[in-house]
Amino acid sequence: MTSTPPLRLDNVTKSFGGLTAVSDVTLSVHEGERSVILGPNGAGKTTLFHCITGTLPITSGTIQIFGKNVNRMTPNARTRLGVGRTFQITNLFAELTLLQNVVLAVHGRARGARRLFTSWQSERHVVDQAHAELDRVGLCGKADLDVSELSYGERRQLELALALVGGPRLLLLDEPCAGLSQSERQAFTGLIRAIPSNVTTIIVEHDMDVAFAIADRLIVMNQGALICDGPPEEVRNTTEVQEVYLGDA
């Protein structure tokens, strides 16, 4: 028996007026797979993520998440199916502490009446969970600092912690290492590799060293279309990829 793919796209297109940002993309990812999407600026990578999370409606095609057609589902409904993400632009409450940011995210994930009848017990549970999430990304010692006191690299670590709150089963990371120094990149690569192996992860990443350290699979986009998809070593050596990257540099 083959298991239901966490994500399946069939002929997905997203146009903005006359501009086709995502063009007829068909792809299926397997459970636990670590895919890295490469491609020059403007290739449509972020738009593709917005289509998957439901931030943007698609123009045509079908998106299935864990076997469910999500074309008409809101972003929140997709989150409940298990989709987690980080944003290319950071999205944190700078005036709150790290712990408060994570507690808010945990509360945001708790559903329905539970939120209205929060006892001390469940409050304690939320705080413990928030500490565990911070620990996972190496920020436990900074739980009580304001986010505004963090370095840029630490903010990105915190964002990863937030994305992991609620145990996503399909995680989308959009350029998690953008703007990081070489040593921060290495550290962050370690955090990505430490994401539980049952979490299917798709990462947009420009840095080839990071991409090769993480990827089971490389997917290359250019001008909205998938131009290459396969095992990293195979993809690296294709002429299309060499051309796109030589052209971009």
Ligand X SMILES: Nc1ncnc2c1ncn2[C@@H]1O[C@H](COP(=O)(O)OP(=O)(O)O)[C@@H](O)[C@H]1O
* Contact residues for ligand X, defined by CB under 6 A: 16, 19, 21, 39, 41-47
Stretch that binds Mg ion, among 44-52, 120-128, 181-189, 214-222 (CB under 5 A): 44-52
Question: What are the angstrom distances between the C-alpha of 241 and each of 34, 65, 96?
Answer: 19, 28, 43
Report in angstroms how near the CB of residue 238 gets to ligand X at its nearest. Answer: 19
Contact 207, 185 (CB under 8 A): yes
Place of tokens 């950071």: 90
The nearer residue to ligand X, 21 or 25, going by C-beta atoms, is 21
Report in angstroms how near the CB of residue 57 gets to ligand X at its nearest. Answer: 12
Question: What are the angstrom distances between the C-alpha of 107 and each of 86, 102, 164, 165, 166?
Answer: 18, 9, 13, 10, 10
Residue 45, number of CB atoms within 10 A of its CB: 25
Report in angstroms how near the CB of residue 56 gets to ligand X at its nearest. Answer: 7
Stretch that binds Mg ion, among 12-20, 39-47, 52-60, 221-229 (CB under 5 A): 39-47
Report in angstroms how near the CB of residue 103 gets to ligand X at its nearest. Answer: 31
Residue 93 interacts with which of ligand X, Mg ion, none, CB < 5 to 8 Å by class? none
The nearer residue to ligand X, 25 or 139, going by C-beta atoms, is 25
Q: Number of residues interacting with Mg ion: please give it, by CB under 5 A.
A: 2
The nearer residue to ligand X, 23 or 101, going by C-beta atoms, is 23
Closest CA to 5 of 149, 138, 157, 202: 202
Q: Quick check: 46 binds Mg ion (CB under 5 A)? A: yes
Sheet holding 83-85, edge to edge: 83-85, 170-174, 200-204, 34-38, 217-222, 225-230
Residue 189 interacts with which of ligand X, Mg ion, none, CB < 5 to 8 Å by class? none
Residue 153 interacts with which of Mg ion, ligand X, none, CB < 5 to 8 Å by class? none
> How crowded is the C-beta side of 64, counted as CA atoms within 13 Å?
14
Contact positions vs Mg ion (CB under 5 A): 45-46
